[in-house]
Amino acid sequence: MESYKREFIEFMVESKVLQFGDFTLKSGRKSPFFMNAGAYVTGTQLQKLGEYYAKAIYDNYGLDFDVLFGPAYKGIPLSVATTIAISRLYGKDVRYCSNRKETKDHGDTGILLGSKLQDGDRVVIIEDVTTSGKSIEETFPILKAQADVEVKGLIVSLNRMEVGKGGQKSALDEIKDLYGFDTAAIVSMEEVVECLYNQECGGQIVIDDTLKSAIDAYYNTYGVKVTA
């Protein structure tokens, strides 16, 4: 596992973004873990978060793109922090762009924040986590309606590795099949468990045998089934 991935997992736990316990998800599923990217609230946290995203984008897509698009609302600070990090770490200036929930009809009009989109722009979409792919359903048509852009891929912070709406493949794989662009994550839940199981993080064992059994049971029910 790359060192930045291990650091990112510990960073999520220390920031109380990734929590373990008993949670009811929006889907109605009972989960032993929960991720809330809204818990990144300080300047230091956002700076670090942007750097982790920048490294993952570089590893998966390189720097051959023009725009980083963050769907409203959580994608807005993600896109801003990460464009800053890409500039600082790699000396590459990419533009940030986000959408508004409603079209603005005065002043800076339109549905986009940040950079306007141009024909031929190569775009990477950035999100916190994708469980069902609903946000992509909403934002992909917006992107394509603004200009003839090429979506290079989607980057999220955590791949939950559970089945999407189709009940067979993960949400990230469903998006890839449906829209034809690559998908990636900074880390997967498999890597989270590998890093934290019976290992100290912040002076305590985060995933002990009991919690590991609960996570295994969850994936026996909702995890992606690997077929030969």
Contacts of 26 (CB under 8 A, 6+ apart): 131
- Residue 13 amino acid letter: V
Strands 30-35 vs 18-24: parallel, antiparallel or unpaired: antiparallel
User: Which H, E and C letters describe the chain, residue by residue?
Assistant: CCHHHHHHHHHHHHCCCEEEEEEECCCCCEEEEEECHHHCCCHHHHHHHHHHHHHHHHHHHCCCCCEEEECCCCHHHHHHHHHHHHHHHHCCCCEEEEEEEEEECCCCCEEEEECCCCCCCEEEEECCECCCCHHHHHHHHHHHHHCCCEEEEEEEEEECCEECCCCCCEHHHHHHHHHCCEEEEEEEHHHHHHHHECCEECCEECECHHHHHHHHHHHHHHECCCCC
Handedness of CA 51, 122, 170, 60 (dihedral sign): negative
Catalytic-residue membership of 104: yes
Catalytic residue among 104, 134, 165, 225: 104
So which residues are the catalytic ones?
104, 106
